[in-house]
Structure 1
């Protein structure tokens, strides 16, 4: 029984090593671009219907939380399907590694939001910029699994995060555009980088 357990553990270790050295093809450019559309729609709706985001931070961030969950659901659904097609037996290991790259940044974003809301609500104006910086760190962490050109998208989010912090520091105001536009451009940029790096027509996938 011990020999069987050791053999199974060795197989899992080998699969993990192979997955670590394989380019992840689970992110579909069309779906990544669609998440940029979700960000644009959220920004437009908040611009039209949320008169004063700064006075209604829960509504403002609630809208973006829903947008983030919808985007994550879209990416997760396609990621599983594409991984099954492109990575077959390695699909589960590849998905696990992809999730592990973004998970620390995602958890940090959630905890940071709770912390600021609970203990320092006067600093919530910083959250959009901080979220963008955290997304950049998640993108940079994923470079080893994705085309190296994806680092350009990470650099975009990194620069936007600090630019948004500087702009918001003048008025401490929340704006759907300083939240939305960086994500619209960033997701479309990421989709384009994935598309051209793949060398294939994603529609056929």
Structure 2
């Protein structure tokens, strides 16, 4: 019985190691592009509905948090579906690795929002830039399992976040466009990267056959 347990543990360890060394292809380019369009639509909605976002920070961030939840749900459903189709037996391990890569930055972003809202409400103008920087760091962390060009999208989010932070620091205002445009461009870039990676992967398989 002890030998059987050891053998099962070894199999699990081998599967986890293979999953860590296999490029994750569970992110669909169409879904990523849809989340970019969602960010742009959210910015348009806020620009039309919120006359002065800085005077209604709860509405401003509430709408963005709702948009982020929708985006995460879309990506999550698509990721599980594609992983089961493309990675078959490794799907669960691959999805777990992806979650572990993105979860720290997402969790920190949520905690920052709660702490700033509770203890420094006058500093909420910093959150859009900080969220973009954290998104970039999350992509850099995930580059070990995603196609390497994903680091370009990570660099975009880092530069965009720092630029947004610098622009907002002049008057401490909240702008729908300082959230919508960087995320729309970043998600669009990710969609192109994943589409090209999938196309190259498929081309390699066809050539091998």
TM-score scaled to structure 1, two decimals?
Answer: 0.96
Pair 1:62-2:56 in alignment: no
Report if the CA contact (8 A) 1:147-1:197 is conserved: yes
Alignment of 1:107-146 (within 5 A): 107-146=107-146
SS in 1 for 2:149: helix
Residue 129 of structure 1, CA deviation: 0.0
Residue 201 of structure 1, CA deviation: 10
How far apart are the structure 1 equivalents of 2:11 and 2:65? Answer: 39
How far apart are the structure 2 equivalents of 1:201 and 1:73? Answer: 26
Pair 1:187-2:187 in alignment: yes
Residue 71 of structure 1 corresponds to which residue in structure 2? 71
Aligned residues: 202
Residue 4 of structure 1, CA deviation: 2.4
Residue 176 of structure 2 corresponds to which residue in structure 1? 176
What 5-or-longer segments of structure 2 have no aligned partner?
Answer: 203-209
Report if the CA contact (8 A) 1:136-1:157 is conserved: yes
Q: Where does structure 1 differ by over 4 angstroms across 4 or more consecutive aligned residues?
A: none
What 5-or-longer segments of structure 1 have no aligned partner?
Answer: none
The Cα RMSD (Å) is 1.3
SS in 2 for 1:148: coil
Residue 207 of structure 2 corresponds to which residue in structure 1? none
SS in 2 for 1:51: coil
Q: For 1:8-33, what per-residue CA distance to the aligned partner results, in whole angstroms no more than 9, with x for missing partners?
A: 21111100000011000100000000
TM-score scaled to structure 2, two decimals?
Answer: 0.94
Residue 5 of structure 1, CA deviation: 2.1
Pair 1:27-2:54 in alignment: no
